[in-house]
Structure 1
Amino acid sequence: MTIHIGAEKGEIAETVLLPGDPYRAKWAAETFLTDVKLVNQVRGMLGFTGFWKGNRVTIHGSGMGMPSLSIYVNELIRDYGAKTLIRIGSCGAMQTSVAVQDVILAMTASTLSTPSSGIFRELNYAPCADWSLLSAAAKTAAEKGVKTHVGGIYSSDVFYDERPDLNEQMVRHGILGVEMEAAELYILAARHKCRALAVLTVSDHLLTGEALASADRETGFGDMVDIALNAAFPS
């Protein structure tokens, strides 16, 4: 076990899905996996390991924001041997072509800063998804008829943003949506030679003000979980 994860060695699968909300992890594990076992509940951050179509999978909460995700992903990779990490979460749409409940596959993740910024110093590193996961996810979404968008997103380090000028530039440059974790996930995966992808469901729209109810945010995201699992284990 580690400081933040109470699982024993061998209780974490090589493939890990990462919702921010620990209760969304619980819902996804109980909905999609069989033979589910609770493997972590340190500080209320729930993690579960089970099977999907015979493949061993862990679904583990990552918390809110890049600093929190960085803690869990570092420990999952370095101490438990995770190799494929897929963020499943919500985002806010930033383009009129993107609607609430659509799915976004994040090809790249722009950001102002991450916990890894100090390593790069003056370099503007470009975090991107793993191509094998991205292409498999896009194929699955097309086969299932899920309205999906592939492109760049913005990983913000604040939730209550007070930079409307920056948002205007994100919209202007085609950024599909905003969330708070993917950029650091992609950086850590690159550093440790792992695979990473963010599959995001649009929960609200920055331009129209439309938003899902809180109950729908937890249970209405089945498409992205299905896409993530099929991307990790393509048939």
Structure 2
Amino acid sequence: MLSSSLNTEELAQKYSADQRIRIPDVLQPELAQQLQGLYYSLIPFEQLMSVQGQNRTFTASEMAAMSDTVKRQLQEQLVRQAGEGVGFLYGGYRLTDGRAKNIPALEPLQTLFDYLNSDDMLNFVRSVTGEAGLVGADGHATQYTPGNFLTRHRDDPAGEQRRVAYVFNFSKSWHPDWGGLLQFFEEDGTPRDAWAPQFNSLALFDVRHIHSVTYVTPFAREPRLSMTGWFHTG
């Protein structure tokens, strides 16, 4: 599944400089193209959000059944929290629980996720990151549309044994002015550099890096599509 042109030693050298790397053209081109089409038409995304300190998930039917008043209250809460640097809103489809195996059309997506837990991929990530103890990965497909965001945070909650975050990108023609950038920060909140979601690229970074996904603007012409998650040691 990985491109045959990848040089693991060179990638490991780049990663070691700051415990993060963006790898272009990471998957075989045919697979990347297939997954991009799949994201657009077949994945039953749910709405993921943080409301009053609790992570909430709503299916499309649950969102459709909400009254305008409830939707407005949710939106107001999300905006209020985001103004304080807290929360998130985006489309997601969890892969760790194996639901995709029950939908034949999602087989390429499930195959990629299963591959993340294969010896081939785990050995690749171990070699690049120097994290020899990695034993598996979890994750979900994501879709950021206008108005979606993920505020500044780390990916290292206590007890979950996460070590390396990953982001596979499947947006074909993303313009950086649309937002949706993987933004990194210094400890004091000063912005560092930001990575646009380049098609068929893979971002790997230590979970202790502070980062966000910047607000997707109303004039974004397509969704920001990715598979994200964490490689862990237990």
Shorter chain as normaliser: what TM range? under 0.3
Computing the radius of gyration from Cα coordinates, the structure with the larger value is 2
